[in-house]
Structure 1
Amino acid sequence: MTLSDEKYPAKLVSLRPSDFEYGRTPVPIPAPARWEYETREQIVRHFQSLIYQLKIITQTYLPTAKAKLTSRRSYAYPIVLKMNKLAKSHRPDQILKELSSEVIAVHALGKIIVAITEDYLKQFIIMIDELIKIVPKKREDWIVWGKSKSGAPVQSVEKEKNREYDLIHELTCIDVIQAYSANEVLEAMGAEDYKACEKDGEFKVRFFSYDDQMDREVLFNFTSYFHHRGLENQKINRLKYSHNLSTYTIPYVNQEIIQQMASFPGVESISSFTRFRVTNANLMQDTQVLDVVQPEQGKTYPKVALVDSGIGSSNAHLAPWIESEEVYVPFNRQDNYHGEFVGGLLIYAHLANPFLKDVVDTGVKVLDVIVLPNKKYESIREDDLIDALEDALRTYSKEFRVWNLSLGSSRLCSGMISEFTASIDELQDRFKVSFVIAAGNYMEMRNVWPIKDPFLNEMDRISLPADSIRAITVGAVAYNNDSTNLVSKGEAVPYSRRGPGVGLSIKPDVVHYSGNPDNFPIHSIDTFGHIVSDYGTSFSVPLVSAVLAECYEQFPGTLTKTMAKALLLHGSKHPATKKYITTLNDHYLYGFGLPRRINDVLYGNEHEITLIFEGKLNPTQNRNWIRISDFPFPESLHDGGKIRGEILATVVYEPHLNPQRGSEYCRANLDFRLRTSRAKGGYDTITKGSSAGEGSDSAMWEKDQMTRELKWSAAKQFVFKAPRGREGSSDIRLELYPTWRNLSEKKEIPFAIVITIRDPKKEAPVYNDVSKALLMSFQSNDVKLRYEPTRISSRGRS
């Protein structure tokens, strides 16, 4: 690690009160929504199909469902609406309002579940029937033209037709209406899950969340019905860590009862408790032994909480680096191999793997949290893991901000948010820590490379808890290869699970090196300091944890987890091409890339500068959005009506989360723009988001914004690249504004922005230009590392 560019540190720029806007966000007023069908004949045919589907529900589903209820009249039944459009402007808001209904859950993209009573289901049919009588020959028959305040022509709907126009629009966006089925309830249940339920003697039942009164009514009807079938009601308990989810532990009776419960109206899902275990190949042990490296007295080091199988008391190589220990597994049920391998990579990675780059080589202090038992005997259940994490966090969260979770499960990320994922997101927010989590190992291993369509097969998609929005999920890439390998150096190894995450979000967040089976494993140490070899995403995680911990340790002043993540992602590049990642396929394999160490992110040179902004949007304080009208763009990159150079902007924010909303878990989106003034007036956006690339299929499902601009993704990057210049001026604006899933959910949004401006030709004095501009109009501080770390070294012996 060198600090050769420390005289060109990044600048932490304070946002001024005038940068916050209290008015409406700068989005154009939309034209009347288009109907999904063009002619009256097409619309009527579609409406008749919807009526037919509703009659199947009322005539077939309702009689069976009602027979299970004690209280029936006002009971709201879960009904699935499958939408052919994703944007919130296509949601059936007017329909639900007229049916006194509401959305009670969202699962996969385009699949919403609403609660409708029997009377309103019948009213739904009448509504559609009445609309059929008045559908115009074509949509345009109800459109009129007018003028905006500026005199521009605008479209609007005939005033007396507004209600009917909206209802027709919303109905044409609905593909399918059906009752929520038992198959959907049991989606997470396979043969092994039934066995796990029987072994545990209990399982989880999640109910749809209505309002308090309806929730009580659903639970009362459920317990009354199954009490007569052998269910002991006194053993039913609310899952204590489900918080925003209505999940209960139910005592096991038999498999038949589980299947009967799946047909009970109001049950959303049934699942076994997820279990977490370590996975490793334990390939080989070398005769080489590394010397013990001791931390220096009085010196501070990065800190990582290692949540794993533990480090043995006789491990002389790691013992000096352990600051504290929390034991949740009895000694006689421990197997420390995995924990020591991961711990060895935190401290000895550069010594055991001298070919590795971008790894922390200065030592890491460890909190040893022993939660994973010997896999030969058992695994840890999700509720026990949550209890252990919460207990350890209460004591150590202020001192240890990075928590390494090199563990995984067999449960794949889906359209539903699990209780465990929701809980660890809550823990990270409550204790202000960052979890670094393995993407998971695909045990069958991919046999095709490259992957051309990320949506074709989901069997190698990330597994729980890698779908955590607040966490940093880590995939694995190869550090070397030969003719026997499917992938080359720097490419995603065949076992590293891939994205997308929840709602097409980018997962993994980053990658680091691990073994490329079978000839190129990653190396660490065992209890006695012998070099041992293995592979798995578990072993790429500690390399990232150490880099992130170094950010917390070296950053001057207080570092929030939002900013820590932004710095980590900003310094990441594709491990093979060494370029910033800009395509969908690559994002779902590599995230934002392989992270660099903090000095490489914060220190530049005379031809580049990095600016850091941090703040909170808060509608209750009239801080609705941001506009920096005098963004400090270097004059030396502006010449003759053109601007040139490169800009990379990384935006990380923490939206409000709602686990009931599945693929719409993130309830807000932040959009970022850099805009330059035009000679003819107005402003052009010069930054571009990620491209869908080969992902195709973007027109269908409206994935264009969700993939191209990473809409609703809590981390995103934007790029300006014009080495030869493009039309523009040094009059550049930075804009940051939110979009809300639901206006009633407007909440504070913490955000961090890291922007690097550079001259790729290495000619312009970018650093000096921007520094002068900052002095004139902004309050800023140099971001200099707290101290210069010293590389630790050791001699190996045989």
Structure 2
Amino acid sequence: MPKIFLPMKVVLARKDLDYRLDPNAGGETKIFEPVTQELRKKYSSEVASLRKEFSASFAEHPTIPAVAKVLLKPEAGAKSYRPGTLFNSETCPIIGVEGPSELLVSVSSEGLRALAYEIEQGQTKKHQANISTLNRLLAFKAKDALEGYSPEYIAKTAKRKNAPIRIRLFRHGVDAVDKLIEQEFKAVARSEALPDLEAVDYGDDVTVYAVKSVTTKSIKALAAFVGTQSIGLFPEFRLVRTAANIVGKLDERRFPSFDPAKEYGLVGVIDSGTDPTNRRLQEYVARRDVVVKTQHDFNHGSFVAGLIANSRALNGADNRFPRAQSRVVDVVAIDASGQISEYDLITVIENAVRDHSDVRVWNLSLGQATPCSDARFSLLACKLDSIAKKRNVLFVIAAGNYETPPLRTWPPENLGENDRICPPADSVRGLTVGSIAHISNQSSCVGIDEPSGFSRRGPAPHFYIKPEVSHYGGNCDETGDCLQCGVVSTDGHGNLAENIGTSFAAPHISNIAANIYRELEPEGNLSPAYVKGLIAHSAFLRSGCPDALDVRYKGFGSPGDVSEILNCTQSSATVIFHAELTDRHFFEKHQFPMPSSLVIPNKGLRAEVFMTLAYDPPTDARFGMEYCRTNLTASLGTVMKNNETGKEVYNPQLRPAPKDVTRGGEARMVSEGFKWSPLKFYYRAFTAGPICKNWRLHLEILNRDGFRCKEPQKLVLLLTIRDPEGKANVYNEMVTEMEKLSWGAQDLRLASRIRVRRRS
């Protein structure tokens, strides 16, 4: 019997009723060790060493500050312990973060004198607390900028590839200072006979130059310049897995013709291009943008585009593949080598998104070979986030393939960091997709719906959830052979072919996302976070509450069809909350209507409750792993009155998924709770839950130390209450109760539903 779908309900925050001032805002002061005269003398001496270390630089570049590293005690990494009393605009201000306990500070001769005074003479409790967080004060040197590579290697490789090198300059957060650093950098380059400098746009908070014709000598000089943060090669990105097994020819059954009367999504594909002689595929190509004019290999791009256009029909009408279909904007950007430099790639992406402004979803089935770092997000990820914010688009990115045999089985063996996701899959605003298997046999690595043996795992830097979701990208044996286990699409010569890879899992999600945008067109200009949240929430509902190991490899699972994502059933009601949070304020819905039909007499509440919180935070690449500058949290709980004090006591009832992380220190909150991740999940299955009529929904905001959000932080919260037995009239009861509470809940407006009403 087909499901009867009912409209999701949308609730907008009421400015005068749902927001309150947070009376508990502010952090604690903690002293980690006794601040003795010996301790003060130790750090004052290290400040003196910094002055000596940078004396030549201050003499040569008197208007240019240097940079020092402040190493903190590991247990002092929390925002509330940040030594802002010592390191401020009057001394040596914090300008960046290099790791969980490593700060970067801007230093001048005068600032170091002032810092030494504060360390030696500061007697307040905050001074003592700040001093007690310190471990070491060190100069940022040329070897730090080289990041483990030798000048000889960089110069030799750049010459062999006839490629520029990438130099990132420090940003001190003061426009006048940052401009002086750029001017002085250009002067150093001229003195090394390097006039060919090109500013490369990576976003507002990053300064990068491409420098050509470098030598070992010039690299040493540029690395030694106090304004240089990093110096190295532009990374190479590649299409993974290009050899497919031919299994037949395209026909109407496996690749239905384009129907002009049908509504399709629209996906931009930046890849190797589609086969221009494949008539069936070209019917689905809305536009073609040829960046690379020669040396084409259309295999990878055709396979990706075929899945976006017709994945279910191509795969034997298997209803686990998306029913939705999309057209593609075909950006032919990668030649037959299958590789492209980041230097060229960012220009291609920037131009494509600008020139095709009607495309809201962009598929990137490519990656770097080197796994992500814990300490910082990749510069390409930061660039994608910058474009996504500026153009209001969603990048759907393949998690990447691990290719070293023997490939992983399931449960997985420990491969260290080797099978971790690769850039740009660490894009915060992007949606990263892992691969799961849809077929298995005796020789395949994994079983059905288990993470494919080649699919790379999370987390992203700072333990952010990546991949967030997964879809079918095929199965294989331990050598990578995928015969009769791959997903099916079309190759670059018009054949029906099978292949494997996260490259071919991502197109399913791109197609779904594009059709969500199409269906929600009546809702107005959607944020990418909204679409991302809808997809992730659907996967969450279908998977239940996956364990931490599953989440690491396949996120929260695979979403349903578009109709399932955007609708409810009678026994499972979803409410979408839109709100905006500002500093020191929180959002609350009092008297949250928990359906009484789910309360079992003499037992208690029996229900499943899911919450997905999604938002696009302000970001700053200067701060490394602290790239995201705001943290939002959600809770749903009960309110009881304390009989002794007469005060209300709020008890959160849901737990962060995949496990409860509300206990423990900052490190555990970050690593297990995905604290600061802009996509969060909460869940609880009640079997004999609290019999309480007073439930409350609570949302709050926390800013990074020293950061204040210039604009209200927009968010979307998807909350589903479900009867585990699928019988109770949860939906009707929720709708009735929300009407009684005057929440102003409205039906989620879908284009297809509006068309049906107009016809009737």
TM norm structure 2 = 0.88
Q: Which residue of structure 2 lines up, in the alignment, with residue 367 of structure 1?
A: 329
Q: CA deviation digits over 1:6-49, x for unaligned, max 9? A: 2x33212233234432x43254665x522223x56xx6665565
1:489 aligns to what SS in structure 2?
coil
For residues 483 and 51 of structure 1, what CA distance do their matches in structure 2 show? 67
Shift of the alpha carbon at 1:201? 4.5
Question: Which residue of 532, 535, 550 maps to 2:515?
Answer: 550
Question: Which residue of 37, 45, 65 maps to 1:76?
Answer: 65
Q: Which amino acid aligns with 2:522?
A: G
Q: CA deviation digits over 1:198-245, x for unaligned, max 9? A: 23442221111122332233334444445333333xx22322444321
- Pair 267,760 (structure 1): closer, same or farther in 2 beyond 3 Å: same
- Pair 229,781 (structure 1): closer, same or farther in 2 beyond 3 Å: closer
Q: Which amino acid aligns with 2:517?
A: Y
For residues 721 and 574 of structure 1, what CA distance do their matches in structure 2 show? 12
- Pair 737,322 (structure 1): closer, same or farther in 2 beyond 3 Å: same
Question: Which residue of 141, 159, 177 maps to 1:214?
Answer: 177
Question: Which residue of 512, 524, 532 maps to 2:497?
Answer: 532
2:579 aligns to what SS in structure 1?
strand
The answer to whether the 8 A contact 2:431-2:468 is kept is yes
Shift of the alpha carbon at 1:367? 1.4
Relative to structure 2, which stretch is displaced further, 122-131 or 436-445? 122-131
Percent identity of paired positions between Structure 1 and Structure 2: 26
For residues 155 and 100 of structure 2, what CA distance do their matches in structure 1 show? 28
Q: CA deviation digits over 1:367-417, x for unaligned, max 9? A: 1111111116xx33334333333333234323x221111111234433334
Q: Which residue of structure 1 lines up, in the alignment, with residue 204 of structure 2?
A: 243
What is the number of residues matched between the two proteins? 730
Q: Which residue of structure 1 lines up, in the alignment, with residue 96 of structure 2?
A: 105
1:17 aligns to what SS in structure 2?
coil
For residues 128 and 550 of structure 2, what CA distance do their matches in structure 1 show? 40
Q: Which residue of structure 1 lines up, in the alignment, with residue 645 of structure 2?
A: none
For residues 714 and 483 of structure 1, what CA distance do their matches in structure 2 show? 40
In the alignment, structure 2 segments of 5+ residues that lack a partner are 643-647, 755-760
Within 5 Å, give how 1:705-744 maps onto structure 2.
705-725=669-689, 727-741=690-704, 742-744=706-708
Q: Say whether 1:589 aligns with 2:587.
A: no
Q: Which residue of structure 1 lines up, in the alignment, with residue 433 of structure 2?
A: 474
1:96 aligns to what SS in structure 2?
coil
Question: Which residue of 222, 225, 246 maps to 1:264?
Answer: 225
Q: Which residue of structure 2 lines up, in the alignment, with residue 541 of structure 1?
A: 506
Shift of the alpha carbon at 1:770? 0.6
The answer to whether the 8 A contact 2:462-2:671 is kept is no
Q: Which residue of structure 2 lines up, in the alignment, with residue 351 of structure 1?
A: 313
Relative to structure 2, which stretch is displaced further, 235-244 or 680-689? 235-244
Q: Say whether 1:323 aligns with 2:322.
A: no
Relative to structure 2, which stretch is displaced further, 220-229 or 305-314? 220-229
Q: Which residue of structure 2 lines up, in the alignment, with residue 654 of structure 1?
A: 616
Shift of the alpha carbon at 1:110? 2.1
Q: Which amino acid aligns with 2:340?
A: I
Q: Say whether 1:433 aligns with 2:429.
A: no
Q: CA deviation digits over 1:483-532, x for unaligned, max 9? A: 54443332223332222223221111211121323243322212454222
Q: CA deviation digits over 1:575-632, x for unaligned, max 9? A: 9xx333353x43332222212222223333322211112233356xxx9431111322
Question: Which residue of 95, 101, 105 maps to 1:114?
Answer: 105
Question: Which residue of 57, 61, 64 maps to 2:50?
Answer: 57
For residues 573 and 545 of structure 1, what CA distance do their matches in structure 2 show? 18
Q: CA deviation digits over 1:744-781, x for unaligned, max 9? A: 33422221111110121334321121111122222222
The answer to whether the 8 A contact 1:567-1:601 is kept is yes
The answer to whether the 8 A contact 1:282-1:533 is kept is no
Q: Which residue of structure 1 lines up, in the alignment, with residue 474 of structure 2?
A: 515
Q: Which amino acid aligns with 1:735?
A: H
Q: Which amino acid aligns with 2:520?
A: F
Q: Which residue of structure 2 lines up, in the alignment, with residue 762 of structure 1?
A: 726
Q: Which residue of structure 1 lines up, in the alignment, with residue 744 of structure 2?
A: 779
The answer to whether the 8 A contact 2:300-2:492 is kept is no
Q: Which residue of structure 2 lines up, in the alignment, with residue 156 of structure 1?
A: none
1:546 aligns to what SS in structure 2?
helix
Q: Which amino acid aligns with 2:32?
A: E
The answer to whether the 8 A contact 2:155-2:214 is kept is no
- Pair 48,354 (structure 1): closer, same or farther in 2 beyond 3 Å: farther
The answer to which structure, 1 or 2, has the higher relative contact order (CA under 8 A, 6+ apart) is 1
2:545 aligns to what SS in structure 1?
coil
Q: CA deviation digits over 1:662-718, x for unaligned, max 9? A: 11111111111112122544221112112568x99x957x22222444321111111
2:591 aligns to what SS in structure 1?
coil
Q: Which residue of structure 2 lines up, in the alignment, with residue 157 of structure 1?
A: none
- Pair 48,338 (structure 1): closer, same or farther in 2 beyond 3 Å: same
Q: Which residue of structure 1 lines up, in the alignment, with residue 417 of structure 2?
A: 458
The answer to whether the 8 A contact 1:20-1:624 is kept is no
Relative to structure 2, which stretch is displaced further, 177-186 or 347-356? 347-356
- Pair 699,179 (structure 1): closer, same or farther in 2 beyond 3 Å: farther
1:487 aligns to what SS in structure 2?
coil
For residues 287 and 538 of structure 1, what CA distance do their matches in structure 2 show? 21
Aligned-residue Cα RMSD (Å) equals: 3.1
Q: Which residue of structure 2 lines up, in the alignment, with residue 487 of structure 1?
A: 446
- Pair 476,81 (structure 1): closer, same or farther in 2 beyond 3 Å: same
For residues 179 and 360 of structure 2, what CA distance do their matches in structure 1 show? 39
